[in-house]
Structure 1
Amino acid sequence: MLDLGLEGRTVLVTGATGAIGRAAARAFAEQGARVALAFRHHREAAEALAAELSGPDGGRAFAVPYALDDAASPRWVVAAVEEHWGGLDVLVAAARQRGARRDPHTRFEDVPEEHWRPLVADGFVPAMRTVQWAVAGMRKRGWGRIALVASPQAPDGAVDGEFHAVARAGLHGLVRGLAGEVGGDGVLINAVCPGPTSPDRPSTPPDRPPASPDRPPTTPEDIARALLFLCSAANGTVTGEALTLGGCR
């Protein structure tokens, strides 16, 4: 059996109450990692998941608030993990903004800036801030893994999904640019780009054809397995990549 080297590692998962974040948190916990669950709205769900993952001895998981629109939140969350466990080894940035598509009946030039600006900002800036604070400690300790949940729309675009694509393209650029700087310090950074996901996105709107009708939707557990490898000691060379899942390109 492949040893992922995650026993005892400390992991921060943002968006931990979403389907992808929840599956990732469980997958890391099953490998013996300690997991901090960053949540935006659903405190009870996050605390219940922390109780589930803590194990009989407790202390292997805890929930922490994470606000996409608060510039200080990423710094505070990373500091909370480092103080609680003495360091942060793995960051999985799975927090995602909602409503990223514009109304298909509204022309691009008619979308007001007060509508598209938060879509772009929430889809990119919080992840970049969190990476900034997380990577500093990883470089000092000489080991770290970072995985961002992005989108295949970043390179390909999508009709009435331009603002989402812009935000996710920023994540791709962050991954590719930062990989060359931090690799010498033992830190690897990648993105995972899932296609239509069930149950997080169980159906395609009736006026929009599925991205790949001959393939089943990617499950959160599929995505979690990809995140596990990219963030493990078994991954010694893969960095700066955007891994597309679900055959959606």
Structure 2
Amino acid sequence: MSVTELNVSLTGHTALITGSTTGMGQDIARAFARSGARVALHGLGDPEGIAELVNELGELSGHESFHFAHDLSDGRQGGALVQAANARLGDIDILINNAGVQFVSGIEDFPTEQWDRLIAVNLGAAFHAIRAVWPGMKRTGWGRIVNTASTLALRGEFGKTAYVSAKHGILGLTRTVALEGAELGITCNAVCPGWVYTPLAAAQVEAKAAALGLPLEKTMKEHFLSEMPTKRFVEPAEIASAMLFLCTESARSITGVALPVDGGITA
């Protein structure tokens, strides 16, 4: 049975969601649009598909949406992205740092260029984006920042040196920003998903299945869902609902937390 997204109103707010043209990011963008927020979409992908998504978000929110294609493999582009979004939509007061990439290899053979890319996209871009939205949030006395972390922000995993390092860094960034924003009306939190069946996860499942010579379903069950007490993938709507709640007035005293939405993995 599928879940229904949280029904909240964020009318009057403007949300920038990085990594929102594919996978879980699309669902997050749709959820914020349904809440009435103006949405700035970010990411790469098929131009026609992105144009359709921009139109859909506009219909859902009742406000014009815009797409930005900044390449976050240069982490500094996170700041440029915010500046571009501010120019088109006004000050961003909700920032969802969701863009993420993955590469799997043992440390001895881990390519240095992949380390640089993962740290830039998964951590550096979030820092630069937060730094860029800060003046506007400080000026208005209201801001919500939610970073997509992972259960791997809380533990390690073989072959994921850069990803695990970046996600641990995201928690440090989250907690420090939360402290600095505590008296300014700015909250900063991280959501730590378990396995969500996104294109990123699907690629890992397919690679594992090919390496082991197993069917996809068997690979999912024995090598991915085995560690999840619920024995199912987390639905994107569950992640979106957690993020929506963290952006409401009801969550104004919740800041600096790492919220697992993981089917019980961290339990």
TM-score normalised by the chain length of structure 2? 0.83
Distance of 1:137 and 1:166 partners within structure 2 = 30
Q: Which residue of structure 2 lines up, in the alignment, with residue 30 of structure 1?
A: 34
Name the amino acid aligned to 1:22: Q
Distance of 2:42 and 2:50 partners within structure 1 = 8
Distance of 2:229 and 2:64 partners within structure 1 = 40
Q: Which has the higher helix share?
A: 2
Secondary structure, in 3 states, of the residue corresponding to 1:156? coil
Distance of 1:214 and 1:71 partners within structure 2 = 36
Q: Would the aligned equivalents of 1:17 and 1:46 in 2 still touch at CA under 8 Å? A: yes
> How many residues are treated as equivalent by the alignment?
243
Give me the CA root mean square deviation: 2.3
Q: Which residue of structure 2 lines up, in the alignment, with residue 98 of structure 1?
A: 102
- Whether 1:225 and 2:241 are equivalent positions in the alignment is yes
Q: Which residue of structure 1 lines up, in the alignment, with residue 44 of structure 2?
A: 40
Which region of structure 1 is more displaced relative to structure 2, 212-221 or 176-185?
212-221
Structure 1 residues 56, 141: CA separation in 2 closer, same or farther (over 3 Å shift)?
closer
Name the amino acid aligned to 1:241: V
Name the amino acid aligned to 1:61: S
Q: 5 Å matches for 1:173-212?
A: 173-200=172-199, 201-202=201-202, 204=205, 205-206=208-209, 207=212, 209-210=223-224, 211-212=227-228
Identity value in percent: 33
Per-residue deviation, 1:229: 0.5
Name the amino acid aligned to 2:252: G
Which region of structure 1 is more displaced relative to structure 2, 224-233 or 60-69?
60-69
Secondary structure, in 3 states, of the residue corresponding to 2:250? coil
Secondary structure, in 3 states, of the residue corresponding to 2:154? helix
Q: Would the aligned equivalents of 2:123 and 2:170 in 1 still touch at CA under 8 Å? A: yes
Distance of 1:126 and 1:171 partners within structure 2 = 11
Q: Which residue of structure 1 lines up, in the alignment, with residue 24 of structure 2?
A: 20
- Whether 1:51 and 2:55 are equivalent positions in the alignment is yes
Q: 5 Å matches for 1:1-249?
A: 4-55=8-59, 59-99=63-103, 101-102=104-105, 106=106, 108-200=107-199, 201-202=201-202, 204=205, 205-206=208-209, 207=212, 209-210=223-224, 211-212=227-228, 214-246=230-262, 247-249=264-266
Name the amino acid aligned to 1:12: L
Secondary structure, in 3 states, of the residue corresponding to 2:68? strand
Distance of 1:31 and 1:155 partners within structure 2 = 30
Per-residue deviation, 1:213: 5.8
TM-score normalised by the chain length of structure 1? 0.88
Secondary structure, in 3 states, of the residue corresponding to 1:24? helix
In structure 2, runs of 5+ residues without a counterpart are 1-5, 213-221
Name the amino acid aligned to 2:249: A
Distance of 2:137 and 2:23 partners within structure 1 = 27
Q: Which residue of structure 1 lines up, in the alignment, with residue 215 of structure 2?
A: none
Q: Would the aligned equivalents of 1:36 and 1:61 in 2 still touch at CA under 8 Å? A: yes
Q: Which residue of structure 1 lines up, in the alignment, with residue 217 of structure 2?
A: none
Distance of 1:129 and 1:56 partners within structure 2 = 29
